[in-house]
Amino acid sequence: MRKQALLIVFFLAPALQAAPGAWEAGLAATVAYDDNLPRAVDAANDFGDLATDLEAQLERVTALQPGRWLRVGGSLQGKAHRDTRGLDHLGIGAQIGLTQKFGLGALAPRVSLQLESNRLQFRNVLRDGWLHRARLGIDRRTSLPWQFGGHVAREWRRGDGRRADVVNPAFGTAVFDQNNVELGAYAQYEFSGGARLRTSCRYRDGQTDSSARPGGVLRNVAQAITRDSAIGQGYVVYRVAVRTLGCAADVDLPLTDDTSMGLGVERLESNARAGVRYERNLLRLQITHRF
């Protein structure tokens, strides 16, 4: 699937260059704090860390007909942690999306379908692999200040399986082969002057990886286990089936016509079988520029 995705972009791009459209580029710089980076269940194993993230996107936007756009492009992403350097990574991705606007004007609803494929390379190769995503979203501005939306997404993650040591012969080591479904919704208010306040929630059902020192409750709900050489400190990483509910609040301020700054917080609560649960709180500051 990953080769097909890249080939689609490679062959489509020259054809789309000839069609009426425009190139759009964006750059986002984020500083984020995660208070439970390993997604651990207990205080003895959880820890927080700060990370900086830089992402660049380049897309060709083509109007197929009035109110319908095709977007084909790619992205480059880099993330570096202050302490947990094994989780630093680079990502390169390809995206293709179709947006349909139903009607004219700012209050017309939009439906978007997006497919993307990302190659992730970590400083520690344990987590190297592919992340594919399909997303269907709807957005509707009901008045100039108010906008609402929702989405459903499907994710597939496939790890390369390198440096995946067997910890327990009863379990496989494909911790980073994960599937997820996500539902989300948001409400946004735009103040005169351009500041935006957004509240959103998302529900994820699928698999994730949680790390901890051996001997904890995660082994009871694990689907796969391997040594977590990226975190080190004797940690083991488990693939676990979880259901997660996250809710966020974001404030976004325009700095110039094409630059904005956002500050957001998100709380995530995850539940697995047998009463296993964990929580995470995320804080992020982001600057975005559109060229």
Partner 1 sequence: MQLFCGALANAGALEVTLVDKAGKPVADAVVEIVSPVVPLPANVPLTASMDQIDKEFVNPLLLVVVGTRVSFPNKDNIHHHVYSFSEAKTFELPLWTGNNTKSVLLDKPGVVVVGCNVHDWMQGHIYVAATQRMAKSDARGKLLIPNLPAGGYAFRIWHARLKASDISKLHNVVIEDRGNTAYPATLELGRDRRIRRAPSGLARDY
List of residues contacting partner 1 (CB under 8 A): 20-22, 26, 28, 55, 57, 61, 63, 66-67, 69, 71, 97, 99, 101, 104-106, 108, 110, 112, 141, 144-145, 190, 192-194, 196, 198, 252, 254-260, 262, 286, 288-290
| Contact assessment for residue 71 and residue 100, using Cβ atoms and an 8 Å cutoff | no
Nearer CB in complex with partner 1: 58/241? 58
As measured in angstroms, the least distance from the Cβ of 264 to partner 1 is 9
**Distance of alpha carbon 59 from alpha carbon 113, whole angstroms:** 15
**Distance of alpha carbon 84 from alpha carbon 35, whole angstroms:** 13
Nearer CB in complex with partner 1: 223/288? 288
As measured in angstroms, the least distance from the Cβ of 197 to partner 1 is 11
**Distance of alpha carbon 137 from alpha carbon 100, whole angstroms:** 11
As measured in angstroms, the least distance from the Cβ of 43 to partner 1 is 32
Strand 68-81 to 49-65 pairing: antiparallel
Nearer CB in complex with partner 1: 10/191? 191
Q: Which SS3 state, helix, strand or coil, does residue 42 take? A: coil
As measured in angstroms, the least distance from the Cβ of 89 to partner 1 is 18
Structure tokens at 107: 């209050």
Strand 146-159 to 129-141 pairing: antiparallel
As measured in angstroms, the least distance from the Cβ of 69 to partner 1 is 7
Nearer CB in complex with partner 1: 84/188? 188
Nearer CB in complex with partner 1: 202/227? 202
> In whole angstroms, how far apart are CA 47 and each of 41, 218, 236, 270, 279?
11, 17, 15, 16, 12
Nearer CB in complex with partner 1: 20/215? 20
As measured in angstroms, the least distance from the Cβ of 198 to partner 1 is 8
As measured in angstroms, the least distance from the Cβ of 144 to partner 1 is 5
Nearer CB in complex with partner 1: 141/157? 141
Element containing residue 12 per DSSP (H, E): helix 2-18
DSSP H helices in the chain: 2-18
| Contact assessment for residue 279 and residue 226, using Cβ atoms and an 8 Å cutoff | no
**Distance of alpha carbon 181 from alpha carbon 153, whole angstroms:** 6
